[in-house]
Amino acid sequence: MFQAPVSTPMACTGGPLSALDAELLIVPWFQGDTIDAVAGLDAATGGEFARALTSKEFQAKPYELFFTAITDMSWRARRVAIIGGGSGERGSDLIRRLATAAGLAARQRYVARAAFAVRGQGDAGDLAQAVAEGLTLAEFYGGSYKTEDPPPAAVPSWTVAAFETGDGAQAVAAVARGRILGECSNLARELSNEPGNTLTPREFAKRATALAGEAGVKTEILDEVQIEKLGMGLLLGVARGSAEPPRLMVFRYDPPGAPATPVLGLVGKGVTFDTGGISIKPAEKMEQMKDDMAGGAAVACAMRAIALLKAPMRVIGIVPTTENMPGGKAIKPGDVLKSASGKTVEVINTDAEGRLILGDGLWYARQLGATHLVDVATLTGAVVVALGKVTTGIFGAPDEWVERVRTVGNRAGDRMWPLPLFDDYKDQIKSDIADLLNTGGRAAGSITAALFLKAFVDDVPWVHLDIAGTAWSDESKPYLPKGPSGVAVRTLAALAFEKF
């Protein structure tokens, strides 16, 4: 039975920095800070920090690190790492990234006990939570299949110094919340990092439902027979080319005393490997298509976080999962599939498969009672052309719901930018022989894909998050190593605490 790894505790404390018991004390420093911005810090280093600032050895550029010894024996920490925060905004998004960058640096130096001093602008609880999330994100290791490299450094024992005086209950709760959200993001990254030969649809369903189930979420896995009884011709059509059968994961979180409405419905794309099918992809970078289930991983791990954090509203999660392979029974360009909603789809490109399985998934979430929908998918290369690798595309209706999700996402550290869904684009997905085409061509590709999904939600408030650019980092950044990012987990979990 698959189980999530047991985490180490994360402490939260207050009082003077001199009292922190740690091998390494991490302090954010911003351009424009005066030397006494953190009381006693320069004196504790014997003036070494002031010297580094004066000589411009340390300029507080974003993610710049300066290490020096603490010579004042009245301080319990023996070394300090000062991390630059630049001259811009000092909100929770930056603090989260600074914590991750510093946490990665601490691990590279085999630090066993590290403390992070919370500094920034905004709500103290939000900042403390962001630090906890960032330090936890630094724990992810993507090389689990390496046999010759030395093992990674053990995860340090973290302490968050979040308050100086008074009652720290808010900060303690914020750190505990951030720890859970960071861990669930890492679990989604682990799933996305698994190769396609180990994470088949059946194995994905087994692991994902175990992660959510052990947190108290009711889970169900529907097999191909049950999927066929539901009439999900789009999901079954995509699965036809693979020897691996599809699965449909169903998650239900129904806390005691929760009102009948609203019911948040989360739907994630779960293609465990995407060759493109008959419309096969180029060989270059096809190996990265193991992460085409990142949206499904985000939904499953968000459901876990929602239950652990005891969200007050009912939440339904749906993850259709399959491979997209070019087998002898695979769907072909020109084929017509019938969805569970009754709509028919002419398949023009078998590599536009994610929207097909999401169409059936969105329909089923509505059947189970979802009143507000959010789907998450590595859906289109077009969104990468539009927004690059740093911003998620957000689509939907009505505008109020889109803006609500966008605001929550930006606060959670998942940057989003809205793209239009004007009716003029609908002509691109009109079929001569069926209700819809599964692709509208290259022009406005991410928009026409979203319009295809909109056909399966009717008038239910709905948002589509296209994470094709943000689910995977092609190059290492100070706050994000190369590999899966865990995008959208924190956003989806936070939505379960909103009032709408």
- For the annotated catalytic residues, the residue numbers are 281, 355
Residue 62 tokens read as: 């974003």
Using DSSP's 3-state secondary structure scheme, residue 144 falls into coil
Provide φ and ψ at 173, rounded to 5°: -65, -40
Cross-strand pairs, 163: 14
Residues 268 and 298 sit within 8 Å (Cβ to Cβ): yes
C-alpha dihedral sign at 107, 152, 484, 181? negative
CA 434 vs. chain centroid, Å, equals 35
Residue 88 tokens read as: 């811009």
Please report the beta strands in 30-173, taking only residues with DSSP state E, as ranges in sequence order: 65-69, 79-84, 113-117, 157-163
Provide φ and ψ at 275, rounded to 5°: -85, -15
Cross-strand pairs, 464: 375, 395
Cβ-based neighbour number of residue 296 at 10 Å: 34
Q: Is the peptide bond before 201 cis (omega within 30 degrees of 0)?
A: no
Cα separation, 337 vs 135, whole angstroms: 46
DSSP 408-429: HHHHHT--EEE----GGGGGGG
Cα separation, 500 vs 490, whole angstroms: 18
Residue 304 tokens read as: 């876990």
DSSP 282-346: PSTTGGGGGGTTHHHHHHHHHHHHHHHTT-SSEEEEEEEEEEE---TT---TT-EEE-TTS-EEE
Cα separation, 397 vs 392, whole angstroms: 17
Of the candidates 83, 162, 188, 175, the residue with the CA atom closest to the CA atom of residue 133 = 175
Q: Which amino acid is residue 410, in one-letter code?
A: N
CA 357 vs. chain centroid, Å, equals 20
Residues 410 and 416 sit within 8 Å (Cβ to Cβ): yes
Of the candidates 406, 340, 396, the residue with the CA atom closest to the CA atom of residue 372 = 396
Please report the beta strands in 118-166, taking only residues with DSSP state E, as ranges in sequence order: 157-163
DSSP 429-485: G--SSSSEES---STTHHHHHHHHHHTTTTTS-EEEEE-TTTSEESS-BTTB-SEE-
Q: Is 86 left (phi over 0), alpha (psi -120 to 50) or beta?
A: left
